[in-house]
A and B are shown apart, each in its own frame.
Chain A
């Protein structure tokens, strides 16, 4: 049950697009289409941004999109805005019937 691997930090200027990767194994990310992404602002509970690899919950901006190729999932934020500055975590269901989170990525809006 090793954590999924994410870059520690990603930055971009307002209006730009950034992509956060989430690398797992054939026992988690690569096996199921059950990858979700969470946004967490300081001292706040996480917020679901993407589920089922590509689906957005109601109310989440369409600037957020998800994808997956093999054992790596990705979250893309288009038209970066100051309020997007936060920590982001991926999460995947595993073949052990458990879940595993990513190591987390700090997004900075320059």
Chain B
């Protein structure tokens, strides 16, 4: 059974940093592009970033370029998202997904507030 389990969310002040992790199991992690998608409270889905199988290709939505960094460790079957210079508008549930969209984690909440 495919499982994606996010962790690392929490409350952070504006301008602060946070690191999210996603532990994958039940499939050959190193064969898949992976994505982070977020959803602000009461709002729609927003694609944030993705990364290819070996980490050599990464893409970001314009609003997070230069502030967020996606990475992965295939030996640990793990996906990461490092969030810097956080703003109130980054407050959201962050989901880890396969790029195919057929598997999602339960999400981890990031709240940016003073």
- Chain A residues with CB under 8 Å of chain B are 1, 3, 36, 38, 40, 45-48, 51, 57, 87, 89, 91, 96-104
Contacts and interface: CB of A to CB of B under 8 A. Distances in A.
Interface in B67-109: 95, 100-102, 104-107
Q: How large is the interface on B (under 10, 10 to 19, 20 to 34, 35 or more residues)?
A: 10 to 19
B50 interface: yes
B47 A100 contact: yes
B46 interface: yes
A17 to B, nearest CB: 24
A104 B45 contact: yes
Given A45-B95, A45-B106, A99 B44 contact: no
B47 A91 contact: yes
Interface of B: 35, 37, 44-47, 50, 59-62, 95, 100-102, 104-107
10 contacts: A1-B62, A3-B44, A40-B45, A45-B107, A46-B104, A89-B44, A98-B47, A98-B59, A99-B50, A101-B45
Contact of B101 (A51, A97, A104): A51
Counting from the closest, the 8 A-B pairs by CB-CB distance are A99-B47, A104-B44, A45-B104, A101-B45, A48-B101, A48-B102, A97-B59, A98-B59
B108 to A, nearest CB: 12
Contacts of A100: 47
Nearest to A60: B102
A91 B59 contact: no
Contact of A46 (B45, B60, B62, B100): B45
B44 A102 contact: yes
Contacts of A102: 44
B103 to A, nearest CB: 8
Contacts of B50: 99
A45, A48, A87: most-surrounded residue (chain B CB, <10 A):
A45
